[in-house]
Structure 1
Amino acid sequence: MHDVVIAGAGSAGCVLAARLSEDPRLRVLLIEAGDSDRYPWIHIPIGYLYCIGNPRTDWMYKTAPDPGLHGRQLIYPRGRVLGGCSSINGMLYLRGQAADYDGWRQMGCTGWGWDDVQPLFLKSEDYFAGASEHHGEGGPWRIERQRLRWDILDDWAKAANEVGIPATDDFNTGDNEGVGYFKVSQKSGFRVSAARAFLRPAMRRPNLTVLTGRHVRRVVFEGTRAVGLELYADGRSEIVRGGQIVLSAGAINTPQILQLSGIGPGALLQEMGIPVLREAPVGENLQDHLQLRCSWKVSEARTLNQLARRWWGKGMIGAEYVLRRTGPMSMAPSQLGAFARSSPDVATPDLEWHVQPLSLEAFGQPLHDFAAITASVCHLRPESRGHVRIGSPDPMRPPVISPHYLSTPGDRLTAARAIRLTRRIMAQAPLAKYRPEEFKPGPDYQSDEELAHAAGVVGSTIFHPVGTARMGADEGAVVDPRLRVRGVEGLRVVDASVMPVITSGNTNAPTIMIAEKAAVMMAEEMRGI
């Protein structure tokens, strides 16, 4: 029997297993449904194109038809491999804003304010520029500058300055307002996933066991105490037992496992024939960032559209990466970023741009055959709330994912403002030489109502689901501020599903921070502190 059994070797699970196994007295078991991260495309930054939509590394989920997107379904990638989403994501290192975490604390989540969590960000980090007030050095997670630049992105940044968005070299000080190139979780041109940074070094320890290819079917309870997990692999089931059970399966799979285990909305569980152990709003409160892909044709510009569509361009890209580990093969999906307010009434930036020197119809489709730039903008603090619910008592069936994008008047208004502000940036003098011509969503959309409709046409997930096992001090929360599942014993949730409110930026760094904090809390409890 193990002291701790962790379900899910994604970003949080890798960190938690590595940190807990630092104590040689603890026997830690980490379970992953996917396989090893030996697949070469995981480690080459541009390889996310070959990992998303690939059953070797992705759960291959889709959303339910979404009314806010005019009935469209979206692909919903989730990592199914050691490292989880950190093995297939965009590698952007963004903590969010100090106000995000202070807001959690104001909601009753004691110990989760900015001053509480900032040291945990620094603990993980090995920042390329060394230690400072805002960054750590010597941690397992390497953070570097990107290894490329584009003239048109530099000019977009200047255009953003013209509308009042200041230049910044660091989005991670607690105030992310500004425009600049994103920092990335890479080392010398290779991806640094949670598996590579945290788990691989720890796997040499005799007290850490890692099992891959095991699908977690449910939590096993004796009365109201969690004592193990039922696993499925190669046509047979087995039960592994542990003193503490931790679900780190992410904002989609963690609520699925909880519901299959009898913890969730009572009516849903009864409909599925699952005995209700504890009624709780598991799977509710789903939040995600919807990106609005605004694109312009440009002239006299070097963009990836031309370069990557020609055989000689592909050859140049490959040669540059092989020889120098630089260029497009080293790049994150988005290179330039910006954070700004949608309205003077907003206290802190509520919009984020991911700016790319390329365009395509949708993720995974070919680049357009003309030069173009895409400035995707997302509302950082959406009001809309969706849900994740099992659609079958069969653990091998995917859950139903319903994000409910743009389902509030506030979200629709912010979408309209976001598109207008993006147009203002594109109309500034530094970009005039490229003669930009808007084709997504297109100049025909002008009024608030028309732009909100357009947002549903061009909107797509940026892959940041959180909140489905909400943390809180109230009895309606799924977990308490120490991440213990309410109403049962011996069971925790440690992943992005515990966020009560989504952070104002990309969610991988906050997820790793959550695992760092969980490891500290669990170690204290096990030592009787």
Structure 2
Amino acid sequence: MFDYIIIGGGSAGCVLAARLTENPDINVALLEAGPADKSVFIHCPAGLAVIAKTGMAGWGMNTTPQPGLNGREGYMPRGKVLGGSSSINAMVYIRGQREDYDQWAAEGNPGWSFDEVLPYFKRAEHNERGADALHGSNGPLNVMDLRSPNRYGPVFVEAGVQAGQVHNTDFNGESQEGVGLYQVTHKNGERYSAAKAYLTPNLSRPNLHVFTGAHTTRILMERKRAVGVEFQHEGQVKQLKATREVLLCAGALQSPQILMLSGIGPREHLLENSIATVHDLPGVGQNLHDHPDVVLVTNAPKATESFGLSLSGAIQGLKGLFEWRKHRRGILTSNFAEAGGFIKSQSSEATPDLQLHFVVGKLVNHGRTTVFGHGHSLHVCLLRPRSRGSVRLASKDPLAPPLIDPNFLSDRDDMDRMIRGFKLIRNILSQPALAALGGHELAASSKVHTDAEIERFVRDYADTIYHPVSTCRMGKGALDVVDAQLRVHGIEGLRVVDASIMPNVVSGNTNAPVIMIAEKAADMIKAAQGA
């Protein structure tokens, strides 16, 4: 018997486990379907390349065929390991824009404006640059400038400035707009996931019980109250009971799946899958959206200090392995997406609507396709897409992956912005700073010029940049799932705490916002129970 059961050992689950067990009288169970985060490929930042190539520590999910992507299935990597996606991501620390959170509050979610969530960002953060009005320096999550930055990141920044963008040294400062180098969630040359920041330091607490290899099959209900969790563990079906609350932190793709498997969701869809309805909640699984992204890849033989498969690249890799093992420095401390920016697709935009990630290597098919030689890649993603999709059950089998349909690029406005973004990143790549590397676009994009040709290229090559949200949306509307306290509408003893509750996706990478959400949720849970 536990006070709280947390489903999912990802970013939000790790935060909740740490914060709730600060009270020694509170007993917490954390259930994670994946293993402990022991692999060196997780802790070495450049191990990301191996993770992407092999799919290790991930769920291996894909979308349904997407009409907006010419019928292709999209890739949906989600972390299946302690730390969740923070153990397999590119470690970029971004909060989003002030306006994102003010809009959440304006849509009927009191307490979620930027000024109200900023203290939780600051409480989570230990920024090695120091504290100021917008940054913390005493939190568990280490944020820093890259220890051994690649020489081509600043070259990209110079090219961006040559293209008319401003240089921004802090994308989490007063203004997000501009190009610059990203800060990352590293510490001493290693990845600093939510597990390393929040969970690992507290594993010795006697009131914290972590179950790995524990696949949740359903939430146990008594009438309209969550009372525990059923899960598969060590070849057996087991149950744990919660005296206070069940906290669902399985992410935007699997939190709605678990709710529906538990009989909480759209009645007709539950009936289709022979699941008895505990509570008819139509919004579960609705409103799915994600940042669509497309990449221009450049072959640049002169850029021999970028990552690449070549003789010089192999020598550089061996040197980097020695430097990382001995000193936690060198090329293997790279997160690959070292630089980037936030720009406007047209001057009339009030705030940036596009994000750039500059990768110091040739990135094709999420890094899963082997490409020889050296070069660089420039992503452009749409920050506030209008297209909306859904997550649905494939069957009542809890081990079957859900049906994921982001409905990418179904709204014409999304495509128009992506076309403008394509032109802008091509312009940056053509500036003297990058052009001096003698690069040229790969064949897939090099002959693309007209808007119609660009649209075909986008539909042929665009995909996720790994930020699905909103499937258990926070709000007061008919298709909203949780209230501003993250309590599931119509159900007692059950909250959802992860990216699925975002009313709309933030304007940037989603890991830092999820950690903030969990920090805020921990305070709300403590206040509700007098803990």
Question: Which of 287, 296, 300 in structure 1 is aligned with 2:289?
Answer: 287
Give distance in 2, aligned partners of 1:224 and 1:487: 7
Q: What is the alpha-carbon distance in structure 2 between the residues aligned to residue 490 and residue 290 of structure 1?
A: 35
CA distance in 1, matches of 2:157, 2:52: 29
SS at 2:445 equivalent: coil
Residue 263 (str. 1) matches residue 264 (str. 2):
yes
Alignment of 1:147-166 (within 5 A): 147-166=147-166
AA aligned to 2:175 is D
Write the mapping of 1:355-504 to structure 2, written as runs, cut at 5 A: 355-439=358-442, 441-504=444-507
User: Whole-Å Cα distance in 2 between the matches of residues 235 and 369 of structure 1?
Assistant: 43
Equivalent residue number for residue 301 of structure 1: 303
Question: Which ranges of structure 1 fall in alignment gaps of 5 or more residues?
Answer: none
SS of the equivalent of 1:65 reads strand
Measure how far apart 1:189 and its partner are: 0.5
Aligned equivalents of 1:489, 1:212: Cα separation in 2: 27
Deviation, structure 1 residue 314: 2.3
1:75 and 1:167 mapped to 2: Cα distance?
32
1:317 paired residue number:
320
Shift of the 199–315 alpha-carbon distance from structure 1 to 2, 3 Å rule, reads same
Distance 1:180 1:55 in 2: 30
| Cα distance change on mapping 1:366 and 1:314 into 2, 3 Å | farther
Deviation, structure 1 residue 212: 1.3
Partner of 1:120: 120
Structure 1 residue 306 displacement after superposition:
5.3
Deviates more, 1:56-65 or 1:485-494: 56-65
For the Cα contact (< 8 Å) 2:307–2:313, is it kept in 1? no
> Amino acid of the residue matched to residue 296 of structure 1?
T
- Give yes or no for contact 1:338–1:352 (8 Å, CA) kept in 2: yes
Q: How does 1:146-295 map to 2 (within 5 A)?
A: 146-173=146-173, 175-242=175-242, 243-280=244-281, 281-295=283-297
1:29 CA drift (Å): 1.2
Give 2:303's aligned amino acid.
Answer: A
* Superposed displacement of residue 476, structure 1: 2.8
Contact kept? 2:284, 2:479, Cα under 8 Å: no
Contact 1:338–1:353 (Cα < 8 Å) also in 2: yes
- Whether the 8 Å CA contact 1:35–1:56 is kept in 2: the answer is no
CA distance in 2 between partners of 1:315 and 1:411 (Å): 43
Deviation at 1:174, TM superposition (A): 5.0
Percent of aligned pairs sharing the same letter? 41
Displacement of 1:55 in angstroms is 6.5
Cα offset, 1:473, TM superposition: 2.5
* Counterpart Cα distance in 2 of 1:97 and 1:206: 39
Residue ranges of structure 2 left out of the alignment (5+ in a row): none
Q: Deviations over 1:104-148 (max 9, x none)?
A: 011111100000011101101111111111211121111111123
From the superposition, tell whether residues 215 and 268 of structure 1 become closer, same or farther in structure 2 (CA, over 3 Å): same
- In 1: Cα distance, 2:326 partner to 2:241 partner: 49
Which segment drifts farther, 172-181 or 300-309?
300-309
- In the alignment of these two chains, the number of paired residues is 528
Deviation at residue 307 of structure 1 after TM alignment: 5.7
Secondary structure of 1:91's aligned partner? coil
Contact 1:5–1:28 (CA under 8 A) maintained in structure 2 = yes
1:426 Cα shift?
1.8
- Between the aligned partners of 1:271 and 1:519, the Cα distance in structure 2 is 36
Q: CA RMSD in A?
A: 1.7
Distance in 1 (CA, whole Å) between partners of 2:311 and 2:3 is 51
The equivalent residue for 1:99 is: 99
From the superposition, tell whether residues 300 and 396 of structure 1 become closer, same or farther in structure 2 (CA, over 3 Å): closer
With over 3 angstroms needed to count, the CA separation of the structure-2 counterparts of 1:174 and 1:464, relative to structure 1, is farther
- Between the aligned partners of 2:150 and 2:265, the Cα distance in structure 1 is 48
Contact 1:220/1:226, CA 8 A, preserved across alignment: yes
Which residue identity lines up with residue 297 of structure 2 in the other structure? S
Cα deviation, 1:361-390, whole Å, max 9, x if unaligned, reads 322435533332111110011111121111
Question: What is aligned with 1:85?
Answer: 85
Report the Cα offset of residue 54 of structure 1.
5.0
- Equivalent residue letter for 1:279: D
- Tell me, what secondary structure is at the counterpart of 1:492? strand
Cα 1:227–1:142 change in 2 (3 A) is same
Which residue identity lines up with residue 112 of structure 1 in the other structure? W
